[in-house]
């Protein structure tokens, strides 16, 4: 099945074939049947590659949205922990899960680590948001057949 994006390529190939059969010329020279078939196959392969790339980018976009949602949850949780620990005595005992192991620490040791984790999550979240934005723009360019020439 040929996608909607590839239909203009099929029309162009049919036009080239008709012109070649009628002895017409395209872009200053006449095409033979084999040249037309090769060009059409090349255009179809290019169209398939673009369709596959778009599909891959859509999967990446959905995965990044899921990751973004998870980071938002972690951010909220870290903010709650920071708010809860901020007003406590720095020498007070608290527990922190590190790599699946519950470790006893003091508030003074845990608060800077949780704050640093929160900052790191925010940085990663910005990067994920920028990537999702890039994918949206790329998809729009593909949908509207926009190309940038260098």
**46: CATH:** 1.10.287.370
Average pLDDT of the chain? 76
Confidence (pLDDT) at 52:
82
Residue 149 lies in a domain: no
The better pLDDT of the pair 52, 109 is held by 109
Has residue 74 been placed in a domain?
yes
Total count of domains within the chain: 1
Q: Of 18-22, 40-44, 87-91, 114-118, which gets the smallest average pLDDT?
A: 18-22
Question: What size, in residues, is the chain?
Answer: 150
Does residue 148 sit within a domain? no
- The whole-model pTM stands at 0.48
- For 3, the 3-state DSSP assignment is coil
DSSP 3-state of 98: strand
Return the higher-pLDDT residue of 80 and 139. 80
Alpha-carbon gap, residue 65 to 54, rounded angstroms: 16
Count the alpha carbons within 13 Å of 11 in the hemisphere toward its beta carbon. Answer: 5
Name the token pair of 137. 């723009």
């Amino acid at each position: 099945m040929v996608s909607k994006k590839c239909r203009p390529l099929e029309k162009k190939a049919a036009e080239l074939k008709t012109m070649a059969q009628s002895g017409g010329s395209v872009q200053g020279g006449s095409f033979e049947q084999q040249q037309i078939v090769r060009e059409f196959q090349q255009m179809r392969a290019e169209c398939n590659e673009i369709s596959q790339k778009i599909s891959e980018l859509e999967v990446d976009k959905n995965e990044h949205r899921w990751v973004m949602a998870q980071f938002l949850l972690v951010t909220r949780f870290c903010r709650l922990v920071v708010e809860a620990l901020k007003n406590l005595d720095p020498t007070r005992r608290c527990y922190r899960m590190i790599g699946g192991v519950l470790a006893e620490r003091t508030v003074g040791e845990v608060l800077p680590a949780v704050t640093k984790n929160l900052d790191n999550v925010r940085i990663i979240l910005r990067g994920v948001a920028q990537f999702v934005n890039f994918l949206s723009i790329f998809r729009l360019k593909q949908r509207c057949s926009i190309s940038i020439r260098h």
